[in-house]
Amino acid sequence: MVADTGYFAIEILVVAFAGGAIGAAVGGMAALSLSGLALVVGEVANAASGAATGSPAALGLTSLVGYGPALGPHVAFAGGVAAAAYLGRHEDADSFAYHRAKDVFTPNGAQVDALLAGGAFGVIGYWLAALSRTLGLPVDPVMASVVVSGLLARIAFGYPLVGFIRDGLLDVSPSERGEIRTALDGTEEGEGTRLAVEPWAPQQHRWLQQALLGVVVGVFAAYVTYVTQRYYLAFGIAMVTLAITVAGVDRLPIVHHIAFPAGIAALSMPAHGIEVALALGVGFGIASALIAELGGRLLYAHADTHVDPPAIAITVTTLAIGLLTTVGIFEQGLIPAL
């Protein structure tokens, strides 16, 4: 499997570079949707054949494509994030409301410099995930890589780590009032219409909205995972829906970060019934939804580039699941190695 190929297997590095460049070309969110599509098809095929995720009999769409070096979020989505950060230094946003460096929705096409930036961060993302596996960290290595890669892109292209904090670090009310940045906020020339605070998902940025999404998506993901015994199916379905946001439907909630930990938690206590699985899904769904909003307010709203709040939430919640598994409370809380 990919996890065993090492850090310098030339064929895997070439694939990771290509995956990152593809993410740069189509845009980060479209790449994430393609990853979800590969996961759904792979998990359905594995369910039909009865193969366990990560086993030699499993179809490689899940482990080698959807969550591997071809289209894995740590490669393709991270490549799109890095390309946007790079282009933010050279271009102004067109239809995107926020800083150009945060635009992971718009395809960047065949711009050579963007493709190179995306490809380089595709390789970096692969290395970061491989390092997490090597160290045996009790966390999802792919989404942890996405977080670190996003921060590295922010540093590499000369952006501040947090940005200018106008009022309070967790306060997004200036965006609701339509307040814009001024020269006193460190606004650069040409950014006079930029919002003072930029919520990562304005369609769901209230705490109650996030909590309710955590409940309903947590129930859905826990049920789907419990009845199919497929860790990645509900997660993949949630990521596929991101294609709708890429198409310009801005009211669609972003929920893949809720589905993933809720699904993992649902299989973490196999000796209990579906009632416990659903309750765990709800608990971890709510936690992940709220952590994503907190992460967005800390590392996205005041900054210039995209550091992914859903990836932050998945990193924190899978770390919690991993620790609970390590101490013996959860029995199979860690997803199988890919």
Residue with tokens 């890589």: 145
Does residue 334 form part of some domain? no
Percent of the chain with pLDDT over 70: 86
Mean pLDDT over the full length of the chain: 88
Does residue 55 form part of some domain? yes
Does residue 337 form part of some domain? no
Does the pLDDT value for residue 40 go beyond 70? yes
Tell me the CA distances in angstroms from 220 to 193, 224, 240, 266, 279, one per residue in order.
Answer: 40, 6, 15, 11, 11
Does residue 181 form part of some domain? yes
The closest alpha carbon to 224, from 214, 236, 213, belongs to: 236
Which segment of 111-120, 198-207, 315-324 scores lowest on mean pLDDT?
198-207
Does residue 274 form part of some domain? yes
The closest alpha carbon to 2, from 147, 136, 148, 127, belongs to: 127
Percent of the chain with pLDDT over 90: 65
CA dihedral 286, 288, 291, 297 (to 10 degrees): -100
In which domain, by residue range, is 253 found? 2-326
pTM score, whole prediction: 0.91
Does residue 312 form part of some domain? yes
**Residues facing 195 on adjacent strands:** 180
Tell me the CA distances in angstroms from 198 to 146, 147, 171, 182, one per residue in order.
Answer: 20, 18, 10, 14
Does residue 338 form part of some domain? no
Does residue 216 form part of some domain? yes
pLDDT at 193: 67
Q: What is the mean pLDDT of residues 76-81?
A: 98
The structural domain count of the chain equals 1
Residue with tokens 């290395």: 127
